[in-house]
């Protein structure tokens, strides 16, 4: 049983000609899921409230993103764009994760996929960066802790870029485990094995060209055992598909079947420790064909 959360506002976040994080990404995912799963349970993502965002982000960051919508495209840094539709998109992207937490915690579904943008895992407590405005997965995790009293939440991040924002937000929070595989070295130049937080951070940086065998070994031998040992009550996934061989921004050389494999591994853990509860949030993926195929493989695995 799976619900898919999205909202039309997420398509109104414009980033300008040639920007890889473009509305067409989400369109490709939605079309592919509609074709592959015609009976899927679509849910409209609500807006996150200010209080829900403040569990993770500073007042200054909320003001930057929400208070003064630009009349034209504005660069927050070299990669991160604010447009007239960005604030509404960011509110619904964050709200998707919150609604998904409510759904799995009240047994309305076991699993949820949040097909939203902008992505989130680079956003820190005080800074929008790396295409990300708010850290959607961190907001979902904090909602689960504050509202449902969870004491062990695991975040698995297989985006090709290290989720530096998620790590920074939780590196002193023992109730959250963060496990990440990512290409080394690549933006944002973080995620070394030596970065361990309070014993809750597990990074496995992979060299360019690693491919399926190295990726699967990374998770099988290091990251999945760490998650199992933590015995999470809820499993969250930062589902970036930019480690695919077709992706223009990196070079880990994965295929869609690798995303099916890692998702099934995570589902098995969730079935043992989390009563099946998984929430996945779309992060990167910039080749539209690869993104569509990988998203379908990921949701296929979540549906079993």
State residue 222's pLDDT score: 98
What are 84-93's pLDDT values in tens digits?
A: 999 999 999 9
For residue 65, give the nearest of 16, 9, 117, 133 by alpha carbon: 133
Token pair recorded at residue 219: 């998770």
Q: For residue 194, name the pLDDT band (cuts at 50, 70, 90).
A: very high
The catalytic residues are: 122
* CA trace torsion 151, 226, 235, 286 (10° rounding): 140
Say whether pLDDT at 299 is over 90. Answer: yes
Whether the per-residue pLDDT at 1 is higher than 90: the answer is no
**In 90-175, where do the E strands start and end?**
111-114, 153-157
Q: pLDDT value at position 125? A: 98
| 20-64 pLDDT tens trace | 999 999 999 999 999 999 999 999 999 999 999 999 999 999 999
Q: How confident is the model at residue 217 (pLDDT cuts 50, 70, 90)?
A: very high
**Mean of the per-residue pLDDT values for the chain?**
98
DSSP per-residue letters across 252-290? --B-HHHHHHHHHHHHHHHHHHSTT-EEEEE----SHHH
Query: What is the pLDDT at residue 68?
Result: 87
Would you state the pLDDT for residue 281? 98
Task: Please give the pLDDT value at position 134.
Answer: 98
Handedness of CA 38, 40, 46, 52 (dihedral sign): negative
Q: Is the pTM of this model over 0.75?
A: yes
pLDDT tens digit sequence for 94-125 = 999 999 999 999 999 999 999 999 999 999 99
Give me the pLDDT at residue 211, please: 97
Q: Is the dihedral of CA 179, 185, 186, 187 positive or negative?
A: positive
What's the chain's length in residues?
A: 304
Two structure tokens written together for 112:
């949820």
Q: Is residue 290 packed enough to be buried (19+ CB in 10 Å), middle (13-18) or exposed (0-12)?
A: buried
pLDDT, tens digit, for every residue of 131-177? 999 999 999 999 999 999 999 999 999 999 999 999 999 999 999 99
In this predicted structure, what is the pLDDT of residue 171?
98
CA 303 to chain centre: 18
In the numeric block, the tokens 């449902």 are attached to 148
Q: How confident is the model at residue 69 (pLDDT cuts 50, 70, 90)?
A: confident
What is the arithmetic mean of pLDDT over 174-195?
Answer: 98
Domains in the chain with CATH codes: 2-298 (3.40.800.20)
Residue 151 CB contacts under 8 Å (≥ 6 apart), including other chains: 145, 175, 233
Q: Between the CA of residue 130 and those of 78, 80, 118, what are the distances in Å?
A: 9, 6, 10
């Amino acid at each position: 049983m799976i619900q898919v959360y999205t909202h039309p506002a997420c398509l109104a976040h414009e980033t300008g000609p040639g920007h890889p994080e473009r509305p067409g990404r989400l369109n490709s995912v939605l079309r592919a899921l509609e074709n592959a799963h015609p009976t899927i349970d679509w849910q409209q993502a609500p807006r996150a409230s200010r209080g829900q965002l403040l569990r993770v982000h500073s007042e200054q960051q909320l003001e930057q993103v929400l208070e003064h919508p630009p009349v034209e495209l504005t660069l927050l840094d070299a990669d991160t764009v604010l447009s007239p539709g960005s604030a509404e998109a960011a509110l619904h992207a964050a709200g998707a994760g919150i609604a998904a937490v409510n759904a799995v915690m009240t047994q309305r579904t076991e699993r949820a996929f949040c097909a939203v943008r902008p992505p989130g895992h680079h956003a820190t407590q005080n800074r929008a960066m790396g295409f990300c405005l708010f850290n959607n997965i961190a907001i979902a995790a904090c909602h689960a802790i504050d509202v449902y009293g969870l004491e062990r939440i695991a975040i698995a991040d297989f985006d090709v870029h290290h989720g530096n924002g998620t790590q920074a937000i939780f590196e002193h929070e023992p109730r959250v485990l963060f496990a990440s595989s990512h290409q080394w070295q690549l933006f944002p130049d973080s995620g070394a094995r030596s970065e361990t937080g309070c014993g809750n951070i597990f990074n496995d940086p992979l060299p360019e060209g690693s491919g399926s065998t190295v990726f699967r070994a990374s998770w099988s031998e290091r990251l999945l055992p760490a998650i199992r040992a933590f015995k999470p009550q809820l499993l969250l996934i930062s589902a970036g598909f930019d480690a695919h061989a077709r992706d223009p921004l990196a070079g880990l050389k994965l295929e869609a079947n690798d995303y099916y494999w890692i998702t099934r591994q995570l589902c098995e853990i969730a079935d043992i420790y989390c009563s099946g509860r998984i929430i996945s949030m779309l992060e990167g993926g910039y080749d539209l064909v690869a993104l569509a195929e990988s998203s379908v493989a990921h949701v296929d695995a979540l549906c079993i």
